[in-house]
């Protein structure tokens, strides 16, 4: 009953709301790769001119996707943008009272200054705080720079090299940091390492590789202090309606070592308007100090019905096995996503998720999260 009430409340709220660009847009909108619309090779963040045009024309169907709705245009060497995201959350853990939260989730400003093929990229913003803002130095408690890097990129073949702080290209790069591939494979909030990355593209493929080291300033990030490397190779086929990627990662800390191999699948079914996204990763985690090892598994399968312009509705199942052979250690989630794009720059995203831990599917934890997102 209470879950039903939460869902009703959330649906009512979203009816007046508005949401952004996710991996669902690759292939389904005719954009064959992330960098078709984004300036970053990994996608996300600043949009290029084509991406801004698509945001207005193809995705929302109304409004001007340009910076500040086209009121002012920066010079060609400068790109500016930003993301404002607020969240309303209702959560009920097994047997507990419903928790209601409202909080700022994101307030980032992004800029890119380019001189020929070389660019300086910076994102800085307000740190989100769902329940409690941390103590400590005021600046570190409130501000964070998720990404800052220098990049060289050729325009003819897309070859790039970048150095600085960024997430390596790896896996389904969802905007939802709580999706299991992101949450459990080192791409959670503020876990961007420092590194050196490179990649290139062909007519039907793209390849990326990165080497990374721990964040040298602990007060600006989180996650395992790992040194390692990633590789990602994606191949598109069937007239850019399908893609398969293989990926691998090694991450070493003082406590453990993780070796990951995985595959990503993307399939656009134009007839029914369905976008299928999937990821499966196997990871071996070893503990040199404890003489033990365990096999881990991350699985994601999502289907999104695209009613562009304006709407997307999707369902996804996820599984995280931190120890595949340990009975009762898995997490499973079933979620529904309703996303609305009422105008260029605006987005509303309602997430409803049931999540069971330890294989308990009878009394799952319930989450409803409404995000309101505006980008400059």
Partner 1 sequence: MRWTLALAALAGCADPADRSSEWTYVHAAIVRPSCATAGCHSTLSALEGLDLSTADGAYAYLTGRVCGAPEMPGTPVGNFVRPGQPESSRLMYMLRGVGTDDVMPPDVPLPDAEIAIIERWILEGATCD
| Footprint of partner 1 on 114-133 (CB under 8 A) | 128-132
Nearer to partner 1, 61 or 322 (CB): 322
Cis peptide bond N-terminal to 100, omega within 30: no
Separation of alpha carbons 45 and 147, rounded Å: 10
Would you count residue 176 as binding partner 1 (CB under 8 A)?
no
Closest CB to partner 1 among residues 117, 134:
134
SS3 state at 250 = strand
Instruction: For residue 220, state whether it binds partner 1 (rule: CB under 8 A).
Output: yes
Count CB neighbours of 58 within 10 A.
18
Using DSSP, state whether 63 is helix, strand or coil.
coil
User: Which long-range contacts link 260-266 to residues 24+ away (Cβ below 8 Å)?
Assistant: 260/185, 260/284, 262/171, 262/298, 264/171, 264/172, 264/234, 266/23, 266/26, 266/27, 266/242
18 vs 191, beta carbon nearer partner 1:
191
**Residue 208 near partner 1 by CB under 8 A:** no
Binding to partner 1 by residue 292, rule CB under 8 A? yes
* 363 neighbors 95 (Cβ within 8 angstroms): yes
Name residues contacting partner 1, limited to 36-75 (CB under 8 A).
Answer: none
Report the b/e string of 301-310 with b at 16+ CB within 10 A: ebbbebebbe
Three-state DSSP at 124 gives: strand
> Which of these, 54, 43, 344, lies nearest to 172 by C-alpha position?
43
Minimum Å distance from CB 292 to partner 1?
A: 5
Report the residue count for the chain: 376
Q: Is 92 in the site for partner 1 (CB under 8 A)?
A: no
Using CB under 8 A, pick the residue from 116, 271, 272, 291 that binds partner 1: 291
User: Residue 284 is encoded by which pair of tokens?
Assistant: 């071996």
Q: In the set 76, 116, 136, 272, which binds partner 1 (CB under 8 A)? A: 136
Q: Shortest gap between Cβ of 315 and partner 1 (angstroms)? A: 20
Residue closer to partner 1 (CB basis): 226 or 344: 226
Stretch that binds partner 1, among 68-76, 166-174, 221-229, 244-252 (CB under 8 A): 221-229
Nearer to partner 1, 104 or 309 (CB): 104
How many Å is the Cα radius of gyration of the chain? 20
For residue 102, state whether it binds partner 1 (rule: CB under 8 A).
no
Site string for partner 1, 254-283 (x = CB under 8 A): -xx---------------------------
Considering beta carbons, is residue 56 or 125 the nearer one to partner 1? 125
CA distance 167 to 121: 13
Q: Is 182 in the site for partner 1 (CB under 8 A)?
A: no
Q: By CB under 8 A, name the binding residues for partner 1.
A: 91, 93-96, 99, 128-132, 134-136, 140, 184, 188-191, 218-225, 253, 255-256, 285, 287, 289-292, 294-295, 321-331, 355, 357-359, 365
């Amino acid at each position: 009953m209470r879950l039903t009430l939460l869902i009703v409340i959330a649906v009512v709220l979203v009816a007046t709301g508005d949401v952004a660009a996710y991996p669902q847009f690759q292939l389904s909108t005719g954009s064959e790769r992330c960098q078709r619309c984004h300036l970053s090779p990994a996608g996300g963040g600043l949009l290029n001119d084509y991406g801004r045009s698509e945001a207005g024309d193809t995705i929302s169907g109304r409004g001007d996707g340009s910076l500040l709705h086209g009121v002012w245009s920066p010079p060609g060497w400068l790109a500016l943008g930003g993301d404002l995201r607020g969240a309303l959350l209702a959560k009920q853990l097994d047997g507990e009272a419903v928790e209601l939260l409202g909080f700022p989730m994101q307030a980032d400003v992004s800029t890119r200054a380019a001189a020929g093929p070389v660019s300086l990229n910076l994102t800085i913003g307000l740190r989100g705080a769902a329940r409690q803002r941390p103590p400590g130095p005021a600046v570190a408690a409130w501000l964070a720079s998720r990404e800052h890097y220098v990049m060289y990129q050729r325009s003819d073949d897309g070859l790039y090299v970048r150095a600085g702080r960024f997430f390596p290209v790896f896996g389904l790069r969802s905007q939802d940091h709580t999706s299991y591939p992101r949450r459990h494979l080192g791409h959670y909030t503020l876990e961007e390492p420092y590194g050196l990355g490179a990649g290139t593209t062909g007519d039907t493929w793209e390849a990326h590789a990165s080497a990374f080291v721990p964040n040298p300033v602990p007060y600006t990030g989180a996650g395992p202090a790992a040194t390692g490397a990633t590789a990602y190779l994606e191949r598109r086929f069937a007239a850019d309606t399908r893609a398969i990627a293989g990926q691998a990662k090694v991450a070493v800390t003082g406590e453990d070592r993780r070796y990951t191999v995985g595959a990503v699948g993307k399939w656009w079914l134009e007839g029914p308007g369905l976008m299928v996204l999937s990821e499966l990763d196997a990871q071996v985690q070893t503990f040199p100090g404890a003489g033990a090892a365990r096999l881990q598994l991350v699985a994601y399968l999502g289907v999104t019905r695209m009613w562009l312009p304006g709407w997307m509705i999707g369902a996804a199942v996820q599984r995280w096995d931190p120890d595949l052979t340990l009975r009762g250690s898995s997490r499973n989630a079933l979620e529904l996503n309703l996303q609305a794009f009422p105008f260029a720059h605006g987005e509303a995203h309602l997430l409803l998720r049931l999540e069971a831990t330890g294989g308990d599917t009878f009394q799952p934890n319930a989450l409803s999260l409404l995000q309101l997102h505006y980008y400059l």
